[in-house]
Each structure stands twice: as structure tokens, then as C-alpha cells.
A and B are shown apart, each in its own frame.
Chain A
Amino acid sequence: MMRVHIKHRDLVLYGSLAAGLIAALIALGVFLPRWLSTPPEEGAAQETPAAEVRKIRARLFYVAEDGVRLAPVEQEVLYGEGALEQAKRIVEAQLGPARPPLASAIPAGTKLRTIFLTQGGTAYIDLSQEISAAHPGGTTNEILTVYTLVNALTVNLPAITSVQLLIDGREIDSLAGHVDLRRPFGQDLQWVM
């Protein structure tokens, strides 16, 4: 009686083990070839549906060596579908930390909340309050901060002709008291090397 009982219990155990093993084998059979065949070659990546790694080259702006101009730097930026999404990717890249020889005119910690794009081609970049609160000041510096963002969008995206900065969804007078931000700005290469 007892043995039968044990045998019966073992049977259930082996059965479920075997089922699990088969399932694992099937899973391996299906997925292993993919794992093995996906060393991501950049060229092939464009054709595969892996959209999240698709990139474009964009011109971003950093404080030049002389400290009073912006230097354009070609950089890879994530691809975004349409002008609005691409604008967000460009601004996010521009807000990121600058690689060592470069210096950014945008205060560290500034985050993109969102971008609104009007039919007329004006982009409203809504930023977190660090852009103002953590701004080190100085007229030249503030001008460079503003034109970093204005030029990053207008130079790379022809659909955007002017840019206005917002903080926490609100229109602002200025970032650090110098630049009149009550209206949108068009591209200005006066500040670019």
C-alpha cells in the first residue's frame, strides 16, 4: 500500500519534471538561435525593428574654448518619429552631461518636461526649474544657455523656426535676470563660432 503510494507520488513528480524540461527545451530551441545571431551590427540595426537603438546625427552646442561663444558638435542622438519626438530626443541629448573637453551652458540637473510644437513652427520647451535655480548667472552665460537650446532645435529641425522656454509649464521673464524670455527666439548664429 505504502509503496504504491510512493510510486504514485514519484510518477507525478517525474511527470512534472519532464514536462518542465520539455518546455525549457522548446523555449531554448526557439530563442537560442536569436540570441546567437544578434551581435548588433550598426548597419543591420536600421532594418531590424529595434527602433530604440536607431540614431541620427545632430549638431549640438557647447560653450567654446573662449567661453563667449557656442561651438557646434556633431553627435549621435536617438531617433524620434516626427519633428516633435525628434525635438525631445535632441533636447534630452543637449541636457545630458557634456563629455570632458566640452562644457555645457545648461545647468546640471535640468530635465525636459515636455515640448509643445505649434503649427507655426514655434517649439515651447518646458524644462524643470534647475535651468533657472541652478543657473550660475552672467549675461553672456545666460545668452549661451538660451541659444544652446534655440539653435539645437532650429539648426537640426527645419520645421522649427522659433523656440520659447518654459519652466514647469509657465512662461518666464528670464532665467537669471538678463535675457528677455517673454517671447520666442529664432535661430541666432551670432553666438556660434
Chain B
Amino acid sequence: MRRGLPYLAHLAVLLALATAISGQVSGPGSFTVMTREGRRALATTVVQGRELVGLNDLAAFFQLTVREDTAARAVTVTYKNRTIILTPDQTLASVAGRLISLPAPLTRQGNRWLVPIEFISRALEPIYDGRIELRAVSRLVIVGDVRVPRVTAQYETTGNSVRVAFEITPKATTALIQEQGRLLLRLDADAVDANIPPPPAQAPQGVLTAVRPAEPNSIQLDLGPRFTSYRMGTPTSEGASVHIVVELLAAATETIAIPAPSPVPAGDPLTLIPSVRSAIRTVVIDPGHGGDDSGAKGAGGTLEKDVVLAVARRARTAIEGRLGLRVLLTREEDNRADSDARAAIANNNKADLFISLHANASPRASTRGAQVMYLGLDRFGEAARQRYESQREALPVYGGGTREIALVQWELAQASHVYESTALANIVEKRLRDSAGISAVTVQKGPLRALAGANMPAALIEMGYLSNPEEERLLASGDFQNSIAQSLVEAVISFRDYLERGPASEASAETDGPAP
């Protein structure tokens, strides 16, 4: 709930990974303290492998008073009326009455008291009025309302292009500016906390020579002599991050159409842009109900669970056969499966797309037509989502103390994909209307249980009404089932185009970021 905790959790992960890549503003021996007023260096001393900082230096930065109580053998740090009590050679400290643990004890060096740098995040941050964020890997201490998004990048290369996929956390709007010999990705921020590896060796030579932070708030892409043009994908947001793909093209002997940059498909950042060809590799089709849960029943005896399984199987064959994608069903047979188990199949297989198939029912037999739905939360659902997002767990760590770990929230994983899911639902609706010959098809959002746990774009299709005698016959027929399967193939193609080329691809295949 505290403002600092998300960063602490992130920090813990970063520390655990120990993927230390040097920060941009200060080397070992000091941290950079960033405030509204500017930047200042905070000197550190390494003692027995631990980086320590002087309490007096911290006192100057954060308006603390430090008092040594020789009788009690303690050092009291006071901020406003809140106190931190430290004991020499002890790793435990009392912060406003609560015990916390530090990775190294309070240490005396000459006439100075030293504490580990983590004192800032574990002892000071909890009692400080403003925000304090310690980013150990970047060697930054961010104080107050200063926007310093983290920027990471990954590369992907093809014969004559290199793509750089940036991930910016928290979200910031960006602008890409071409200048002599360089492209600048400018962020709407006060500074940039960049952690960017050098371009890979297998990238086409002479296109992109370096990617590095540029003062004050940009990422600079140094261009080589073979650089000809660039494209920029539509920024896509995912959770707290925004993804931007910039593709740099090399002068090539042949000027064949080069695949447009793909806004990063939702999912694990380590599998960004897995293939040049496709933003969709795995599709999960979810035939609703099953086992003792028959779903809706037609007057003629047609069961929803049978219809949806038949359509799912036909769709799998069609998508695998025509597009060569991997297609998984959440149930292969007439068995019962709960909603979370179905979502888990999609999540664990890193599916790029989740389509749930259903057949409808109404107390009015005249009701007919298909509907496509996606998850929409009302304000109570939205409040729940925010609660889950702020839920964190304090796990005990070796050597005492705890570490804040952000929980992966499957409860409402779908909520972060609503934007893409809306697009997916609209595409599916269009394809169903075009090819399946269904009359009144509508798109609606609703509080859908079947989609809640799916951590990827997802839509639910109600193919027709089993309570309508005419539609019951239709739903049971192989021809109709095949035409739905064909519509799904078309929808997957359209949605892949949408992901790879951005929203305008529906109308035209030749649309993209700013033309160079």
C-alpha cells in the first residue's frame, strides 16, 4: 500500500537476479540522490563486502538528527517526531517502534557512524513524509516527486534490420526524434534510469552502433553508415509498463517489404518478439462447460458442451492447417474443468490469444443471434483489481528480516489486457458477421468468469441460441460449425495483423509509425 513498496519488491528481484549493469550517473563509491532540486552524490564506503553510508551524510540530505546515547549504547536517528534506534554491531533496528533487519550492522569508523545503504529503504522510507526510492542496481536514490522511469531494451535482428524493444516502467509518453547520426527516444520524465545492453554482434553491421541514455531524459540510438530508415510501432501498455518497438533498416541490395515492427505481444518480457513473422504463436480455444455441466440445452436435445467441443476441434484443425500455429484446447474430451484451470492452461503455455466458445439460452425462444464479449469491470471490479495489485507478501529472508514480494494476480489477470481484448472482440465479431452468416452479432463487455484469469487478449463467443429451434439446428450442423471455424481462422489472421501493424491494419496493410 505504501508508495515505496512496489519499488522495493522490484528492487528485491533485481538484487536477487544480480544482473548488475553499471548505472549511468555514478560509479561504485557513490549513489546519486535525485530530487526536484537536482542531483547530488552520496558517498559510500565498502566494509566487508557491504556498501555503507555515513549517518551524518544522510542527516544532511533528509533533515535527520543523529544522537548518540552512550549510556544506552544506542544511536537515535530522529526525523520530525519519529525515531529510528540503532545499536552498534547489531543488524536489528527499531523504526518507529517496529523492528526491522539490516544486511549489515551499525558500524563506527573514526567519529562516523555507518549504516548499510539499505537503511534508506528499510528504515528511513517507512517514516519519511515524501517518497524515497532506493534503486541499488542503478545506484539511485529518488526523493520526492521526481519521475525517473526505468528503461530496458531487447534486440532482435533479421537480415537487414534490427529491432529494439523498449520497456518503460512506470509508463511515460515518448517521442522519437531523428537528428544527425542519431535517433532520440525522448521520455516525458525528469530523468531516465536506463539499463540497456549493447546491440548484439549478429545485428547487421553499420546500422545501430550503440544505445545509451542521453541527458536529461532521452535514450539515444547511434546510427551507423548503413542506416536508411526507421519505423516505430504503436506503444502498447502492459501493467505498469509501456512497450515501444523501434526498427532500424539497413541499406539492402533488394528492397523487399520488411515486416513491420510488432508492438510487443503481451506476456513475459523475456520472450519479447519471439519471431519476426508472427505476433501470435499459440492460440488457446476454450470449449465451455463439459462433464456433468452440460451448459445450455436445446429443446431438440442439443447440448452446449457438445457443440462447443465440436467447433473447437474444427477450429483447431483449421488454424493449425492454414496458419501453422500451435492450438491448444482447454478440454479435449467431455470433462468438467473449472475456469481457473482453463486459464492456467493458456497462461502456462504462454498463449497469445484465448477464445472461449459458448452457446446461449434465453427464456424467450425467439431470441437469436451471436454475441462476442470481452471482460469489462464495473467500478467495484476495478476497485478489486487495484486491491489485488497492491497486495504484497512479506516473505522471511535468510538471515532475518523480510522481503516484499509482489503477488502475481491471476484473480483478474485479464484486466490488464482489456485494450487488446476489445480489439480482438471487434475483429471476431466482424469475421463472424462476414463469414459465418450470423445475423445480429453484437459486441459487449461483461463480468466474465471464463476470461478473468487469462493473462492475454481474450474474447468469449456466444455462437447462437440453443433455446431458438432454428439456431439449435444450425449449431448442431457440421456446415455451420465449419463456417464458425473458418471465421476464427480469419479472426486470428486479422488480430495478428493488428498486433503486428497496429490498429489501422484492419483498413490497410501499409500503415505504420512515422515515415522517416
Where the two chains meet, the residues of A that have a C-beta atom closer than 8 Å to any C-beta of B are 63, 65-68, 103-105, 136-141, 143, 162, 173-174, 176-186, 188, 190
A-B contact pairs, 27 of them (CB 8 A): A63-B362, A67-B366, A67-B367, A68-B371, A105-B363, A137-B294, A137-B296, A138-B296, A138-B359, A139-B371, A140-B462, A141-B360, A141-B361, A162-B380, A173-B338, A177-B288, A177-B289, A177-B295, A177-B339, A178-B358, A178-B449, A178-B450, A180-B448, A180-B452, A181-B449, A184-B380, A186-B379
Contact B448–A179 (Cβ < 8 Å): yes
Query: Whole-angstrom distance between the alpha carbons of A140 and B361 in the complex?
Result: 8
Nearest Cβ in chain B — how far from A173, in angstroms? Answer: 6
Query: Whole-angstrom distance between the alpha carbons of A136 and B303 in the complex?
Result: 11
Q: Which residues of A contact B371 (CB under 8 A)?
A: 68, 139-140
Q: Which residues of A contact B361 (CB under 8 A)?
A: 136-138, 141
Q: Which among B294, B304, B364 has the greatest number of chain A C-beta atoms within 10 A?
A: B364
* A interface footprint on B345-359 (CB within 8 Å = 1, 0 otherwise): 000000000000011
Contact B360–A185 (Cβ < 8 Å): no
Q: Which residues of B contact A141 (CB under 8 A)?
A: 296, 360-363
Contact A180–B362 (Cβ < 8 Å): no
Q: Which residues of B contact A179 (CB under 8 A)?
A: 446-449
Contact A104–B380 (Cβ < 8 Å): no
Where the two chains meet, the residues of B that have a C-beta atom closer than 8 Å to any C-beta of A are 288-289, 293-297, 304, 338-339, 358-364, 366-369, 371, 373, 378-381, 384, 411, 442, 444, 446-450, 452, 460, 462, 465-467
Contact A139–B378 (Cβ < 8 Å): no
On whether A140 and B360 interact (CB within 8 A), knowing A174-B449, A179-B447, A180-B448, the answer reads yes
Contact B364–A183 (Cβ < 8 Å): no
Query: Whole-angstrom distance between the alpha carbons of A65 and B366 in the complex?
Result: 9
* Contacting residue for A139 out of B360, B363, B367, CB 8 A: B360
| Closest chain B residue, CB of each to CB of A190 | B444
Contact A139–B373 (Cβ < 8 Å): yes
* Contacting residue for B449 out of A67, A104, A138, A173, CB 8 A: A173
Contact B367–A180 (Cβ < 8 Å): no
Query: Whole-angstrom distance between the alpha carbons of A162 and B227 in the complex?
Result: 59
Q: Which among B358, B373, B380, B381 has the greatest number of chain A C-beta atoms within 10 A?
A: B380
Query: Whole-angstrom distance between the alpha carbons of A64 and B288 in the complex?
Result: 26
Contact B450–A177 (Cβ < 8 Å): yes
**11 other A-B residue contacts (CB within 8 Å) besides A137-B297, A138-B465, A186-B380:** A63-B364, A67-B366, A136-B297, A136-B467, A137-B296, A137-B304, A139-B371, A141-B360, A141-B361, A181-B449, A183-B380
